[in-house]
Structure 1
Amino acid sequence: MVTPLQSVRLLSSQFLLKAIKETEQQSQSQSSGTRNALLQRYGIDTSSDATRSQKTLSALLEAISSKANAAPTLAKTVSTDVTSASFMEGLKEKLEEMTDVQSTSSQAKAMLAALGAGTLTVTDPVKGVTVKAWDVDSAKEKSTSGKSGDKVEATDWSSFLKSHLARGDTGAYTKTAQGSYIDIPSGGSAYFGIIGADYVYLTWPHEKTAA
């Protein structure tokens, strides 16, 4: 999928490439001043050092333009139904992405371990449903398209989080060493964030540490 930032970079690259090609098409009899004026019109440095590297820049821009113009990969749509396999697939992908970020790596690895062990719970309080997450890539769940889940009292996010996230003496949310919140009802770890397009609440048992 081509992001807005990639689109801006591509447009800039195409303008630079167009300017370079236009200068290359100028006849040998044209003065250097005319060629420089054309380059400057596109905001390109015309100093001697910049001119010497023009061929390298042209090749680089050609490569960038070619890659960005390739058929875009459509973003996969993640279901907002937390009891569906589509959601579980999106959940696992999100957690795997989080392992690559230093600030969330430890927390994500703990959630992935809980996912594999069948102890990760997903709750959508707005829809009033909770379900045990499952690994869509496991042999046991390959053909699972969805599960029934359990009904919980439907409520808004503000009320739900106030009653579920533990706070310290200062009123700030309490967090574990992994950076996870603490779920009051279960006493386990908790995560609140977006999976796909909607917010969800994840809980799992505290990771056991060696004595």
Structure 2
Amino acid sequence: MKGLLLKDFYLSWRYCRAFLVIVAVFLAVSFVGEDNIFFLIYPIMIASVIPMTLLSYDEHDKWTAYSGTLPYTRVQLVSAKYLVGLCFGAVAFLVSMAATTVRMLTGEGFVLEQFALVGTALLVLGCIGPAVILPYVFKYGAEKGRMAFYITIGLFTAAATVLAGIGFQVQVMGGGLWPLAVVAGVAVLIYLGSWWLSIRFYQKREL
């Protein structure tokens, strides 16, 4: 399993380094103006598509067929992509939340409810994106999975536009922060369910 993770991280460094520049630019732009929540969401979007990008390179280099000769199970092959996605997603989440904190402290001040709301939105988007894309890719392959990719990106963009349009001024309900915790928990469960579904699909797929 360690070997699979190292392979994917090496591939990420080789093929996805340009994403770092894009993320840096978008985070910098997020500090300009008042309603640029989309630029905080974009790093999460980038991280969510890295596993699919790696799967595309695996198929192009015939790794999916070659892996059948190695002592790895299909559960491990799928899990490696989800774990890599978690790692990149966690880094993107922390970077975006750090940028949110700095923006608040240099602006109108730190507001816990607003901070928690932004964090929940980023967590949900970070979980839902891979949860939608990866089962489709593991079932039909990376090329056909691009359809799910474009649909998901469209949904992300629409969500970001709506949030920016309303100024992200949704108020936490009087019950405190627990509704956000419930939403975040549901998003995590959807991600875990997607993981399980991808394993089932990949075990039945002929390579």
Normalized per residue, the structure richer in helix is 2
- TM category, shorter: under 0.3
The normalised TM-score by structure 2 is 0.25
- Could you say which structure has the larger radius of gyration? 1
Structure scoring higher RCO (CA < 8 A, sep ≥ 6) equals 2
The normalised TM-score by structure 1 is 0.25
Normalized per residue, the structure richer in strand is 1
